[in-house]
Amino acid sequence: MRNTEDRRAAAGPPLMRWTSPIMAAVLLAGCQAEGSAPAPQDEGAVATAAPMNPAQQAFADVNTRMHAAMANIPTDADEAFIRGMLAHHRGAVEMAEVELAHGANPQARDLAQRIIDAQGAEIAEMEAWLTQRGLPTAAPTGAAAQVDHSGH
């Protein structure tokens, strides 16, 4: 059997014996505050998010379309790169268009226009690359989004 000194050493310094549980509780509370909303007190209460304003909804819609198109990854690395960048650039242009429709800051609006101009030219180059190989340039939708273009 261990003596008293051995048991104290195993439990850690006196300060650590009571601070560890406290620190664990503090960290857990911090994670709760950052990571999730507290559970409603009333079982009938339903938490609802604030409605988005038109600009937020437009950005959310762009992100959904862009990420869906980027998720269609062909097995051919070159085509995967072109299609992923094409979806990304189209999304960037759409986001810039949302900025022009809803934004007011002159610098942000200027940047949005420059993005449309620059990425529009790169979109045309990527579409030409696909066309030269007999591949569709339109963003896939529905069942077509699942088609693998591995033969090219």
- Model confidence at 40, in pLDDT bands (50, 70, 90)? low
Q: For position 72, which CATH number holds?
A: 1.20.1260.10
User: Contact at 8 Å (CB) between 88 and 66?
Assistant: yes
DSSP state of 146: G
* Of residues 90 and 151, more confidently modeled: 90
Q: Determine the pLDDT at residue 50.
A: 86
What letters, b where the CB count within 10 A reaches 16 and e where it falls short, cover 46-69? eeeeeeeeeeeebbeebeebbeeb
Please tell me the distance from the alpha carbon of residue 28 to that of residue 116, in angstroms, as a whole number: 45
| Same domain? 131 vs 71 | yes
Residues in the chain: 152
Please tell me the distance from the alpha carbon of residue 70 to that of residue 138, in angstroms, as a whole number: 13
pLDDT in tens, 53-97: 999 999 999 999 999 998 989 999 999 999 999 999 999 999 999
CA 52 to chain centre: 17
Residue 72 lies in a domain: yes
| Same domain? 69 vs 111 | yes
Residue 146 lies in a domain: no
Domain that holds residue 12: 4-35
For 102, half-sphere exposure in the C-beta direction (CA atoms, 13 angstrom radius) is 13
- Model confidence at 138, in pLDDT bands (50, 70, 90)? confident
Percent of the chain at pLDDT > 70 equals 59
